[in-house]
Amino acid sequence: MWHMGDGSGWWMLFGTLMMLAFWGIVLWAVVALVRGSRDGAARGARDEPTALEILEWRYASGELSDEEFEGMKQRLLGGRRT
Protein backbone atom coordinates (compact mmCIF):
# COMPACT_ATOMS: atom_id res chain seq x y z
CA MET A 1 0.00 0.00 0.00
CA TRP A 2 2.64 2.59 0.99
CA HIS A 3 5.59 0.93 -0.84
CA MET A 4 7.96 1.55 2.08
CA GLY A 5 10.33 -1.31 1.25
CA ASP A 6 10.99 -0.43 -2.40
CA GLY A 7 14.69 0.09 -3.10
CA SER A 8 15.80 0.28 0.51
CA GLY A 9 18.57 -2.23 -0.16
CA TRP A 10 20.29 0.11 -2.60
CA TRP A 11 20.20 3.02 -0.16
CA MET A 12 21.69 0.85 2.57
CA LEU A 13 24.49 -0.21 0.21
CA PHE A 14 25.10 3.42 -0.78
CA GLY A 15 25.19 4.49 2.88
CA THR A 16 27.60 1.71 3.75
CA LEU A 17 29.93 2.68 0.89
CA MET A 18 29.82 6.35 1.92
CA MET A 19 30.65 5.42 5.52
CA LEU A 20 33.58 3.27 4.38
CA ALA A 21 34.84 6.12 2.18
CA PHE A 22 34.53 8.58 5.06
CA TRP A 23 36.49 6.42 7.51
CA GLY A 24 39.04 5.61 4.81
CA ILE A 25 39.71 9.32 4.30
CA VAL A 26 39.94 9.91 8.06
CA LEU A 27 42.42 7.03 8.42
CA TRP A 28 44.48 8.27 5.48
CA ALA A 29 44.62 11.80 6.99
CA VAL A 30 45.75 10.48 10.39
CA VAL A 31 48.48 8.33 8.81
CA ALA A 32 49.65 11.27 6.67
CA LEU A 33 49.84 13.55 9.73
CA VAL A 34 51.77 10.99 11.78
CA ARG A 35 54.23 10.33 8.97
CA GLY A 36 54.66 14.04 8.33
CA SER A 37 55.35 14.85 11.97
CA ARG A 38 57.75 11.92 12.30
CA ASP A 39 59.67 13.00 9.18
CA GLY A 40 59.70 16.59 10.39
CA ALA A 41 61.03 15.58 13.79
CA ALA A 42 63.76 13.49 12.20
CA ARG A 43 64.75 16.38 9.95
CA GLY A 44 64.19 19.05 12.55
CA ALA A 45 65.60 22.43 11.70
CA ARG A 46 68.76 20.87 10.23
CA ASP A 47 68.00 21.46 6.56
CA GLU A 48 71.05 23.74 6.40
CA PRO A 49 74.60 22.51 7.05
CA THR A 50 76.36 23.87 10.12
CA ALA A 51 79.32 26.24 9.85
CA LEU A 52 81.67 23.45 10.91
CA GLU A 53 80.30 21.14 8.20
CA ILE A 54 80.82 23.84 5.58
CA LEU A 55 84.36 24.42 6.86
CA GLU A 56 85.14 20.69 6.72
CA TRP A 57 83.74 20.48 3.20
CA ARG A 58 85.88 23.42 2.04
CA TYR A 59 88.96 21.84 3.64
CA ALA A 60 88.21 18.47 2.04
CA SER A 61 87.79 20.09 -1.39
CA GLY A 62 91.20 21.78 -1.07
CA GLU A 63 90.00 25.38 -0.72
CA LEU A 64 91.74 25.81 2.65
CA SER A 65 95.24 25.01 3.81
CA ASP A 66 95.90 23.08 7.02
CA GLU A 67 96.67 26.29 8.93
CA GLU A 68 93.58 28.11 7.66
CA PHE A 69 91.36 25.15 8.51
CA GLU A 70 92.74 24.74 12.03
CA GLY A 71 92.49 28.50 12.75
CA MET A 72 88.91 28.76 11.53
CA LYS A 73 87.94 25.59 13.35
CA GLN A 74 89.34 26.89 16.64
CA ARG A 75 87.43 30.17 16.20
CA LEU A 76 84.20 28.30 15.46
CA LEU A 77 84.59 25.99 18.44
CA GLY A 78 85.57 28.83 20.75
CA GLY A 79 88.95 27.40 21.72
CA ARG A 80 87.63 23.90 22.51
CA ARG A 81 89.62 20.94 21.26
CA THR A 82 87.92 18.12 19.35
Query: Averaged over 7-27, what is the pLDDT?
Result: 88
pLDDT at 78: 86
Max CA distance (Å), the chain: 101
Q: Using CA atoms, how far apart are residues 44 and 61, in angstroms rounded to an integer?
A: 27
Check pLDDT > 70 for residue 82: no
Q: Using CA atoms, how far apart are residues 46 and 15, in angstroms rounded to an integer?
A: 47
Q: What is the model's pTM? A: 0.41
pLDDT one-digit tens code per residue, 35-67:
887 766 555 556 788 899 999 999 999 999 999
pLDDT at 43: 55
Phi-psi region of 3 (alpha: psi -120 to 50; beta: other; left: phi over 0): left
